[in-house]
Structure 1
């Protein structure tokens, strides 16, 4: 069973995934960039959690949080940016166009 939580400490935070019986954590880290805007900075999933859908579950949790809380996402992380490029229907949750490099 995968459990996902949100942790925040001032300007920075992360979505954390834990799987019962595995001593590791997957995460998407983020930074508050302004009022109602965060950047998804990094997605990390350790090898012993690989192949279990953890990164996708983290992304889904972040997207649901954005919908419920009313913020938008700058997709800095390559994984988040690539998933967004495959799902242009998420455009209401992001601050860039699909496939656009926010660091360019």
Structure 2
């Protein structure tokens, strides 16, 4: 299984492709210095294969490289962050809404 991930800035999302086919996406809306991640979808054909984890992990690394923080409104993104405490510094501080 060959995967690639693209940041579709115009569509405000990250898209994962498996063997050239779109397998899923995570919404990523930029609000100032914060990236709001509020929805993640993976096609049923790729469920249980780690596709969502690969996608969200790559998106969060891109957020880190951009110098922004993330507001994890999506339950899957929150779960991923809970499972990866080393990424806790990426989470938008409470009480500090984006500009």
Asked if these proteins are the same fold (TM beyond 0.5), I'd say yes
The one of the two structures with greater contact order (alpha-carbon pairs below 8 A, sep at least 6) is: 2
Is 1:29–2:34 an aligned residue pair? Answer: no
> Please, what TM-score do these two structures have when normalized by structure 2?
0.83
Structure 2 Cα separation of the partners of residues 86 and 77 of structure 1: 14
| C-alpha contact 2:14 2:55 (8 A) present in aligned 1 | yes
Structure 2 gap segments, 5+ residues each: 95-99
Q: Deviations over 1:71-101 (max 9, x none)?
A: 110000000011212333212111157xxxx
Task: Using the TM superposition, give the Cα deviation of residue 64 of structure 1 relative to its aligned residue in structure 2, in angstroms.
Answer: 1.3
Q: Deviations over 1:44-72 (max 9, x none)?
A: 00111112211011111112102211111
Give the CA RMSD over aligned residues: 1.7
| C-alpha contact 2:15 2:22 (8 A) present in aligned 1 | no
Structure 1 residues 82-97: aligned runs within 5 Å:
82-96=79-93
The runs of 4+ residues in structure 1 deviating greater than 4 Å are none
Aligned length, in residue pairs: 93
Q: Deviations over 1:7-55 (max 9, x none)?
A: 012xx5111001116x443101111122x21110111001111122110
Structure 1 gap segments, 5+ residues each: 98-104
SS in 1 for 2:70: strand
Structure 2 Cα separation of the partners of residues 20 and 8 of structure 1: 22
> Please, what TM-score do these two structures have when normalized by structure 1?
0.79
Is 1:47–2:48 an aligned residue pair? Answer: no
